[in-house]
Structure 1
């Protein structure tokens, strides 16, 4: 398959490498000349390699699929260069509603791989980044072409990803809960290091795990949260209510006894996550959104559509 990846940071660069490793014809482009040079140099030593273009029109010549891997604020700048492209467009942006609206009327399937690191350059890219990751592919009723959706699902499952069907709005609400608000919480927790070297010396596993994503570039965190502002505000308000409740119980005559009931359910939820996958099942293509809403994912497309969905209990494998 002939694929063009526009934007060669961590996700775009990793996709470029992963596709080339599996024998696809891949062309990359990045607005940064230094990034283009780094990608071209890597192509010369990796087998199989890829082509790096100097501009978008040159990159999309003969492309069957164009993957937009640039930050959300940069997408409007890219679109004019795609005006004549009639092939399939997808993206890897962490917010889906605004991209869906921007590409309305185009042959488009929204996508978002739930994979990443704190670093964000091409030099950090890894062809194995998507192994086992959940890759959302948006399916908008009455808008998304099912054949296009299945084509991308086949491509991404071949990279080792678990393809999750969802609408753009469902995706944005879910990632506000499990990605965007956690980034803001990590930032707030990291501020506790300010002017307290003793706290920094004592910080260990719980602080490290709770603040890891705060090391992500501020521009990327701001783009994902700002681009999904309405959902992030709703989820953040719910989290603040929980924190306020914990704070109120700390003023009780016996704060230990008061707090304990409030902390039981979160512990149960975390211990039960991630749920163990069930057995492979054939999935009706007309039932894909219901499959995704049940927590299910697609693991294979041909010769039949096969998926898994979670069962109760924790996956300890």
Structure 2
């Protein structure tokens, strides 16, 4: 293992943090020490028992002095607290990344508290509607994409470190600016979650007795972590509102052609969506 990754601290050992720990231990075994930071010794002890971490800590500052890499895996609105605890005690060679679903606010805060030379944002596009280290998996990231969000002055060495970390877990990596990242994920991640939640709230209780595969598929992600999603909505508000406006416009057009019984327009829209979905699933959409 590369020297700068011999000691890794994961703050937040839930589904994502626990899966990172399991993947690192599967790859490197005793060559890496994974320290876990959390709010509950019970959950941290469960992470030790699962093999995701080697040691448990209730304070980031307690684990940080010997660490080479810190990975923030808590809800994004908690990052500033942890970064303030880390800043005075991190050794100069250590670097920090995260798994947060929003980036612009996170990167600005981290650059101010840690510095552009030591922090680089990451967003592994992997997850589940379940939560907790009990559902963590060393294979969670296999063949998924991680978006890396360097700042304007991020050193090339740090970009390579971040890319190398996620590729070692089986991920493909792409780079975006923090602002571009937040625009993109508002449409492809944050909006779908809101639509799933809204759909789950739409039927009457009696209606749900007849619900089957399609409804279950569309509402699956509404079971996600509430604290995490609350912070996502608060830190990417403007982009999410823009995505909602665009979707509302699309719905109004769909309603118009249905109300007009415009058969050709209805078929055209359904076929266009069907073909685009097929290209997307087969990986041919941007080729």
Task: Give the TM-score taking structure 2 as reference length.
Answer: 0.88
SS at match of 2:34: strand
Instruction: Indicate the residue corresponding to 1:17 in structure 2.
Output: 22
Alignment of 1:172 with 2:186, yes or no, is: no
Say whether the 8 Å CA contact 2:41–2:56 is kept in structure 1: no
Higher strand share: 1
The residue that corresponds to 1:262 in the other structure is: 269
What SS does the corresponding residue of 1:66 show, helix, strand or coil? Answer: strand
Shift of 1:204: 2.1
What do residues 193-212 of structure 1 show as CA deviations (whole Å, max 9, x unaligned)?
333x2x32332222122111
1:93 aligns with 2:103: no
- Deviation of 1:258 after TM superposition, in Å, equals 4.1
Counterpart in the other structure of 1:126: 137
TM superposition shift of 1:153: 1.0
Task: Label 1:13 to 1:232 Cα distance change in 2 as closer, same or farther (>3 A).
Answer: same
Tell me how far apart the structure 2 counterparts of residues 37 and 99 of structure 1 sit (CA, whole Å). 29
Cα offset, 1:262, TM superposition = 3.0
* Aligned counterpart, 1:51: 55
1:163 is paired with a residue of what secondary structure? strand
Q: How does 1:53-202 map to 2 (within 5 A)?
A: 53-84=57-88, 85=90, 86=92, 87-105=94-112, 106=115, 107-141=118-152, 143-195=153-205, 197=206, 199-202=207-210
Aligned CA distance change for structure 1 residues 222 and 57 (closer, same or farther; 3 Å): closer
Match of 2:241 in 1: 233
What is the rounded CA distance, in whole Å, between the counterparts of 1:264 and 1:237 in structure 2?
24
**Distance of aligned partners of 1:185 and 1:311 in 2 relative to their CA distance in 1, 3 Å threshold:** closer
Partners of 1:6 and 1:67 within 8 A in 2: yes
Q: Are the equivalent residues in 1 in contact too, given 2:10–2:21 (CA < 8 A)?
A: yes
Q: Secondary structure at the match of 1:60?
A: helix
Aligned residues: 272
Q: Distance in 2 between matches of 1:58 and 1:101?
A: 25
Q: Per residue, is there more helix in 1 or in 2?
A: 2
Greater alpha carbon shift after TM alignment, 105-114 vs 30-39: 30-39
Q: 1:229 to 1:67 in 2, by over 3 A?
A: same
1:278-317 alignment runs, 5 A limit:
312=287
SS of match in other structure, 1:119: coil
